[in-house]
Amino acid sequence: MGLFRFKYLVYVTFALSLCVIALGAYTRLTEAGLGCPDWPGCYGFATVPQTSEQQLQALAAFPDSPVDVEKAWNEMFHRYLAGTLGVFILIINLVAWRRKNTPRGLPALLLGTVVFQAVLGMWTVTMSLMPVVVMGHLLGGFTTAALLLLLALRVRRREARIVSQFHRHSSSHSLTGASLLAAAALAVTIGQVALGGWTAANYAAVVCTQLPICEVDWQQHFDLSAFNPIQPEHDSYQYGVLNFPQRVSIHVAHRLGAALTTVVLLVLVWRLWQFAILRGLALAVSGALLLQLSLGITNIVASLPLLVAVGHNVVGAMLLLTLVAANYQIYSYRTPLRSHWNNAREG
């Protein structure tokens, strides 16, 4: 397989990872995460039990988990798609190791990530939606997509042999500043994604229904124990086990985090706009940010409509990916520029 075909294999796999993220959000939001009480099968079958005989066997094996066919199919479709993604990532590794001049480190890291994702998927079921596992599973999905995007950018750059140059008025110092700001923006956004995952995993998304912060006296009742990753053991964590003040604390932290993230990203957009070659990235970041804020506000005022909530997850992933792309592009532009300055000093 030539580099050209390998590039499109990576592109298809990246698109598939976004579908897995969207379907994972839909599965979680439709309360189908425990649609199948076992893993990797469903009630002991490779697919959802459908005949009367199969459903009787399922009920006998799992008497506390009656079959809900719709939820079970939601969960199994997610597993099938995630498994397909894993196969594609395995193929990427096999091709990468057979070809010269193809990145190998990133494919290997991707394979390790998707294997760990499978383990987290199993734990999500066997640990009955333990919040830290659910949040980790979400972060793992975003990480998989981010690594695939990085691989796609690296392959594309290598194929085209792009050596980017800034305008003559650009300086190493100004580009370093943009690089540091982009890295900070990425770190803040990752933290906000984690807060969003923690909010969803603890069913805290609709405890505050008014803007801008919360109708509850959250300052009086703010409880740091809500952020303890290891919660007391329960038979199931579905629908949440934290009390109301703890859920309010999580929700408010997510809103405050959104405000901080917005400020940092707007500063980044302003900085990127100063470089003509980075203005496309500035528009991408600002567009994703505006859409994400709109979806977040809609979730609050409309009490978490399903499609809006799924969109909020997907656009959150897209926002994170635009920042990954921004960091990579700035790094790519800095490399030849740094070499130019070093050569000038040596000369």
Give me the amino acid identity at 20.
V
Q: Please, what is the end-to-end C-alpha distance for the chain in angstroms?
A: 43
Is residue 246 within 8 A of residue 226, CB to CB? The reply is: yes
Q: Which of 31, 53, 70, 75 is catalytic?
A: 75
Can you say how many angstroms the Cα of residue 264 is from the centroid of all Cα atoms in its chain? 19
- Rounded CA separation 293/269 (Å): 16
- Rounded CA separation 164/156 (Å): 13
- Rounded CA separation 87/85 (Å): 5
Give me the amino acid identity at 121.
G
75 is catalytic: yes
Q: Decide: helix, strand or coil at residue 50.
A: coil
Task: At 130, list the tokens.
Answer: 């333990």
Q: What is the dihedral of CA 148, 149, 155, 156, to 10 degrees?
A: 150
Residues catalogued as catalytic: 75
